[in-house]
Amino acid sequence: MTNFFTGLMRLKRGPWEMLATILIGLGVFMLMQPFVLWAYTYSFITTLVGTVMFIIVSHFKD
Amino acid sequence: MSETPAARAAAVTPPSVARKIRGLSDRAIAWIFVGPTIFLLLAINIFPLMWTIRLSFTDFKANRNREVEWIGLRNYQRILTDSDIWLNMQATAHFLFWTIFFQVVIGFTLAYLINKKFKGNDLWTTIIVLPMMLSPAVVGNFWKFLYQPQIGLFNYVIGFFTGKDPSSFEMLGQVNLAPWSIVIVDTWMWTPFVMLICLAGLRSIPDYIYEAAEVDRASKLRQFFTITVPMVLPFLMLAVLFRGIENFKMFDLVVQLTGGGPGSTTELTSINLKREAFEKWRTGYASAYAIILFVTVFGLASIYVKALNKVKER
């Protein structure tokens, strides 16, 4: 866990990609979940942020 | 006769063309070859995408010849607060979850069985793989016949095993059964694909690992959970992502089977999008809808590429 946060602070690709992946996954889940409408409303922006983040951080160094 | 192909090509090149090419650098020649492809890519993929993004901020209707008004994020706001579209998303989620679940369980089991050496192994592989070679339109059509309450084989088989009257239920016409009918057909069609990926994973495990486990007296169950499952997992993940992306865009099979009905119980997002764009002609609204789906699929595809690279690294 500490490595993960250190990696984030040092702008390492692995942890940032992981974070972006989590955001994309969360966004897709929010889009399709049957529980609350507000989660559906904010799903697109979550997925969009995750996807844009993924494109940017995949250019970071390992 | 030691003439090389390059020399032969040079000999038949008209002098006017040869004169023009001779003065070009390697980089320029490379651009000449790559240029048409880049142009096509821009014209067919990138330009329509940019145009769709632009249209998603307008109230454009493709069947009306009137002034287009810039409405900002209103289309996105409408879609993301519409409870009907939310229901379509849930129908898609039901379809996605259960098709992937069944395809992974059955696909992995089949791959595990096929991987055991037995007589007729190759023949069985070919037979199992047959459904995925068929066109979705054909599959949709013949499953429609199989689901017929009066003459359908599916209802007859269910009736035979459960003692129910075959004509007492309608797979495609009942609200509670229709979502499962499309799950069954997609599972039937695409399980072989998951099986093939799992089989590739199983065959990539070297025998010496199992031999070492045998020497250490590890039980078959222990070998399965500590060797087979972890080593096939990246392949399985790949199959899940691939099927997930494909099923998120599912259109043809479901249109053939149920057309989105009864009501809108099997109306997946792609079907709903087509209705908005080409039946209601709300082009701007449908563009925003398409962009939402595009971003979702693009996000999933990014994870897919990452998983693919991990598999390659192994």
Q: What is the pLDDT of residues B15-32, one digit of tens each?
A: 777 777 677 788 888 898
Between CA B153 and CA B159 the distance in angstroms is: 10
CA distance A37 to chain B (A): 7
Mean pLDDT of B182-198: 94
State the pLDDT at residue B99.
95
Which of B45, B18, B15 has the alpha carbon at shortest distance from B29?
B18
Residue A62, number of CB atoms within 10 A of its CB: 6
pLDDT of residue B102: 96
A12 CA: distance to closest CA in chain B (Å): 15
CB B58 within 8 A of CB B68: yes
Domain ranges within chain B, ordered by starting residue: 5-55, 82-313
Chain A hits for B90, CB-CB cut-off 8 Å, are 32-34
In this prediction, residue B314 has a pLDDT band, given cuts at 50, 70 and 90, of low
Q: Is the pLDDT of residue B217 over 80?
A: yes
pLDDT tens series, chain A, 62 aa: 788 888 877 778 888 988 999 999 999 999 999 999 999 999 999 999 999 999 999 888 87
pLDDT given for residue A23 in this prediction: 94
Contact A32 B96 (CB under 8 A): yes
Minimal Cα–Cα distance from A24 to chain B, Å? 6
Mean pLDDT value across chain B:
89
Check pLDDT > 70 for residue B312: no
ipTM of the predicted structure? 0.92
- Tell me which chain A residue has its CA closest to the CA of residue B88: A32
Tell the CATH topology of B82-313: MetI-like fold (1.10.3720)
pTM: 0.82
Interchain contact, B86 vs A37, CB within 8 Å:
yes
Best A22, A32, A42 member to test B by mutation, with max B CBs in 10 Å, is: A32
Instruction: Label residue B300 by pLDDT band (50, 70, 90).
Output: confident
Mean pLDDT score, B242-247:
88
Contact yes or no for A48 and B295 at CB 8 A: yes
SS (H, E, C) B15-61: HHHHHHHHCCCHHHHHHHHHHHHHHHHHHHHHHHHHHHHHHCCECCC
The band of B94, judged by pLDDT with boundaries at 50, 70 and 90, is: very high
The rounded distance, in Å, linking the Cα atoms of A33 and B263 is: 21
Question: For B163, left (φ over 0), alpha (ψ -120 to 50), or beta?
Answer: left
pLDDT digits (tens, 9 = 90+) for B120-133: 888 888 899 999 99
> What is the chain A residue with the closest CA to B310?
A14
Q: Is residue B1's pLDDT more than 60? A: no
Interchain CB distance below 8 Å, A20 and B302: yes
Distance from CA of A5 to the nearest CA of B (A): 21
Q: What is residue A11's predicted lDDT score, i.e. its pLDDT?
A: 79
Whether the pLDDT of residue B164 is over 70: the answer is yes
Contact B302 A51 (CB under 8 A): yes
Determine, for residues A21 and B298 on separate chains, whether the beta-carbon distance falls below 8 Å: no
Whether residue B166 has pLDDT greater than 80: yes
Environment class of residue B230 by beta-carbon count within 10 Å: exposed (0-12), middle (13-18) or buried (19+)? exposed
Domain spans of chain A? 2-57
Does residue B77 have a pLDDT over 60?
yes
